[in-house]
Amino acid sequence: MTEARVWVGPERSSVVAKAIERAGGTLAEPGDANAVVWIGPPSRDLIREVVHPGIRWVQLWSAGPDWWVEHGVVDRERVWTRVEDVYAADVAEHALAFILGAARCLPQVARRRRWHEGSGDRLAGHTVGIVGAGAIGRQTIERLRPFGVRTIALTRTGGPVRGADRSVGSEGLDELLRESDYVVLAAPLTPETEGLIGARELELIGPEGWLVNVARGRLVITDELVEALENGRIGGACLDVTDPEPLPDDHSLWRFDNVLITPHAANPPGTFDEPLAGLVEENVRRFREERELIGVIDPERGY
């Protein structure tokens, strides 16, 4: 049995601290710790001060570790883990809200200031494509099931995805885009997925289709999305993430009535303390028992 001496920071969480103790770990100062639970915004300088040679494991609170990988923080000298399913339910719920809003034309209707003839459509009978069927993608598929939609799930390997009507690999992206009325981006940001959706892909989605992004802003080439919206080559977009982020007040995306933007708000404040604590508790227990941890990051793959 390995001793788990854990530093929690830079932000404190009594819920996470109690979870560590329940799992048999102890709270420690950075110099005495052999594990870190990082809670707070990324900081390359601070984490390098904390992560000394004695640190064997670092738990990040990010679902997508792209910032940490891109800035060369994640190394092979120790194990780094990300949160696997902690945010999935909330983000999937946000994606569902986006899809329903798009189907009922709520972004356009909400901007009107006079009574207008009804618009919108039912969701049943339409096709939703999920690009990235990890935890968020799978939970989105589950929440869509009662609405009578057809779902196509894309994963890197193309293996079957539970609940999806069809599963495809990365080579099936064009087909997914052509067939989907709503395309949900839920993939991690990696060198392979950066700029995944540009002018050609938006053309495939078409003037009746909607793009929903709850992943990372850089999966979409923003200038090409703006151009597609200006020329009516896509039906609309629902974006919880953008590139750049935060989106400047004078950015062109704000002026379209068929674009719904939320400020990276798919996780309501205070909703993930308990799920995060549950993950930390399980990983501390596994760390002490020298078992494989949940959510291990592969620096080569980027997630």
Helix (H, G, I), strand (E, B) or coil at 110: helix
* Alpha-carbon dihedral 198, 199, 200, 206, rounded to 10 degrees: 110
Confidence of residue 285 (pLDDT cuts 50, 70, 90): very high
Is 90 exceeded by the pLDDT of residue 270? no
Helix (H, G, I), strand (E, B) or coil at 261: strand
Tell me whether residue 227 is one of the annotated catalytic residues: no
pLDDT in tens, 155-210: 999 999 999 999 999 999 999 999 999 999 999 999 999 999 999 999 999 999 99
Q: Which of 166, 178, 264, 286 is catalytic?
A: 264
Average pLDDT over residues 76-105: 94
Which pLDDT score, from 0 to 100, does residue 230 have?
A: 98
- How many Å apart are CA 127 and CA 164, to the nearest integer? 11
Domains and CATH numbers, the chain: 5-86+272-288 (3.40.50.720), 88-261 (3.40.50.720)
Average pLDDT over residues 12-27: 96
Q: Which of 142, 179, 245, 282 is catalytic?
A: 245
Is 90 exceeded by the pLDDT of residue 275? no
pTM summary value: 0.91
Q: Between residues 235 and 113, which one has the greater pLDDT?
A: 235
Q: Residue 85 carries which side chain, given as an amino acid letter?
A: D
Q: Tell me the pLDDT of the chain averaged across its residues.
A: 95
pLDDT in tens, 22-42: 999 999 999 999 999 999 999
Q: Residue 301 carries which side chain, given as an amino acid letter?
A: R
- How many Å apart are CA 51 and CA 80, to the nearest integer? 11
Average pLDDT over residues 218-234: 98
Q: Which of 126, 138, 216, 285 is catalytic?
A: 216
Average pLDDT over residues 8-19: 95
Is 80 exceeded by the pLDDT of residue 72? yes
Is 80 exceeded by the pLDDT of residue 77? yes
Average pLDDT over residues 254-277: 89
Which H or E run includes 68? helix 66-70
Which pLDDT score, from 0 to 100, does residue 84 have?
A: 74
pLDDT in tens, 41-62: 999 899 999 999 999 999 998 8
Tell me whether residue 264 is one of the annotated catalytic residues: yes
Task: Show the beta-strand stretches assigned E in the chain.
Answer: 5-10, 26-27, 35-39, 57-59, 79-81, 127-131, 150-154, 166-168, 182-185, 210-213, 236-239, 259-261
Tell me whether residue 216 is one of the annotated catalytic residues: yes
Which pLDDT score, from 0 to 100, does residue 149 have?
A: 98
Strand partners, 26: 5
